A and B are shown apart, each in its own frame.
Chain A
């Protein structure tokens, strides 16, 4: 038993040398987006001041969880404007993660267990961070943060590359963390299921117990990883908005 590979569903012409063909991975992304949009729209279809039912309460709770713990805690007074973006990110990653829990490894896998997807999301978050940073503090202010204030020029030139590497490590860690967690979790789950198929009859129960335990843990990991990615995105945006940085830029 093995995970499904890359399958081209519709061959499309390349754009700037990039193969834009619709693959099974793209379809998984679309499925994740479609499920996220449908479920959230259904959950919030009632426009009444009082929440109705468990379904609406659950998703309202998740939205407010992102609003309280990611937006307001990190982004301060203007947090409300960022909540839709962060909530979209959270729900998209969450559904993308949960696709890996569908017990059909021949057709489904976590949309986020692909490095291209997580790198894409991390680059997108960092593009937003850089845009916000430059828009608020200017290009000069943005570049100044790579040279810590008060250092002699010689040491400053040495420190600057380290700062750049440290700054670039953030989106890399953001992408790799999500990818590695989803990949590893689902790989383990697949191993347990494969063991269950191939094990001797009197040992078949052991991998089954392991697979059930792993599935429960993986469900938890799906939520946690979506939250961590969103939380870190919020923190990076918050860094870009920080007033301290603004004063450094002004100097």
Chain B
């Protein structure tokens, strides 16, 4: 890395960023106590993985990696719709979003 105006960035830095985003998502999944925020942490993990897919697609000049990200986005959209519907149903039954109080499978 000779100068700050360099046109080149090592791909490993992108991969490190993606690993960091994934780990932050896992940490959020563990420490957040709100059902919606836990769900957001899962989205953060998905985004971290998507970045590594795009990075490897750039590395190998393979467009299929990008198409996989496209599929991940589609599945994530479906997952968000169903997951938020489940959250609404849980909130109706329990009147709370705190994961500590939602400790029974039975409604």
B and A form one assembly:
no
